Amino acid sequence: MSHALEGVRILDFTHVQSGPTCTQLLAWLGADVIKVERPGEGDPTRGQLRDIPDVDSLYFTMLNHNKRSITVDAKKPRGKELLERLIRHCDVLVENFAPGALDRMGLTWERIQSLNPRMIVASVKGFGPGPYQDCKVYENVAQCAGGSASTTGFDDGPPLVTGSQIGDSGTGLHLALGIVAALYQRQSSGRGQKVLAAMQDGVLNLCRVKLRDQQRLARTGVMEEYPQYPDGKFGDAVPRAGNASGGGQPGAILKCKGWETDPNAYIYFITQAAVWEPICRIIGKPEWITHPDYATLPARLPRLKQIFDTIEQWTQTKTKFEAMEILNQYDIPCGPILSMKELAEEPSLRATGTVVEVDHPTRGKYLSVGNPIKLSDSPSEVTRSPLLGEHTDQILAELGYSEDQIAALRADRAI
Confirm or reject binding of residue 72 to ligand CAO (CB under 6 A): yes
Confirm or reject binding of residue 122 to ligand CAO (CB under 6 A): no
96, 200, 271, 385: residue in contact with ligand CAO (rule CB under 6 A):
96
12, 168, 213, 225: residue in contact with ligand CAO (rule CB under 6 A):
168
**How many residues of this chain interact with ligand CAO, rule: CB under 6 A?**
24
38, 216, 285, 363: residue in contact with ligand CAO (rule CB under 6 A):
38
| Least gap, CB of 28 to ligand CAO (angstroms) | 19
134 is an active site residue: no
Confirm or reject binding of residue 396 to ligand CAO (CB under 6 A): no
Q: How far apart are CA 322 and CA 317, in angstroms?
A: 9
Q: Which range, of 136-144, 233-241, 245-253, 333-341, touches ligand CAO by CB under 6 A? A: 136-144
| Least gap, CB of 21 to ligand CAO (angstroms) | 9
Q: How far apart are CA 101 and CA 71, in angstroms?
A: 18
5, 22, 26, 74: residue in contact with ligand CAO (rule CB under 6 A):
74
Please, what is the Cα angle at 24 between 21 and 29, to 5 degrees? 130
Residue 91: how many other CB atoms lie within 10 Å: 21
- Name residue 85's beta-bridge partners: none
> Which of helix, strand or coil describes residue 265?
coil
Confirm or reject binding of residue 138 to ligand CAO (CB under 6 A): yes
Q: Are 56 and 362 in contact (CB under 8 A)?
A: yes
For residue 253, count CB atoms less than 10 angstroms from its CB and return exposed for 0-12, middle for 13-18, buried for 19 or more: middle
Confirm or reject binding of residue 50 to ligand CAO (CB under 6 A): no
DSSP code of residue 356: E
User: Catalytic pick from 168, 262, 331, 359?
Assistant: 168
Confirm or reject binding of residue 145 to ligand CAO (CB under 6 A): no
Dmax (CA) for the chain in angstroms is 87
Phi, psi of 132 (to 5 degrees): -110, 15
Confirm or reject binding of residue 16 to ligand CAO (CB under 6 A): yes
Q: How far apart are CA 325 and CA 167, in angstroms?
A: 35
Please report, as ranges, the residues that interact with ligand CAO according to CB under 6 A.
16-19, 36, 38, 72-75, 96-98, 101, 104-105, 124-126, 136-139, 168
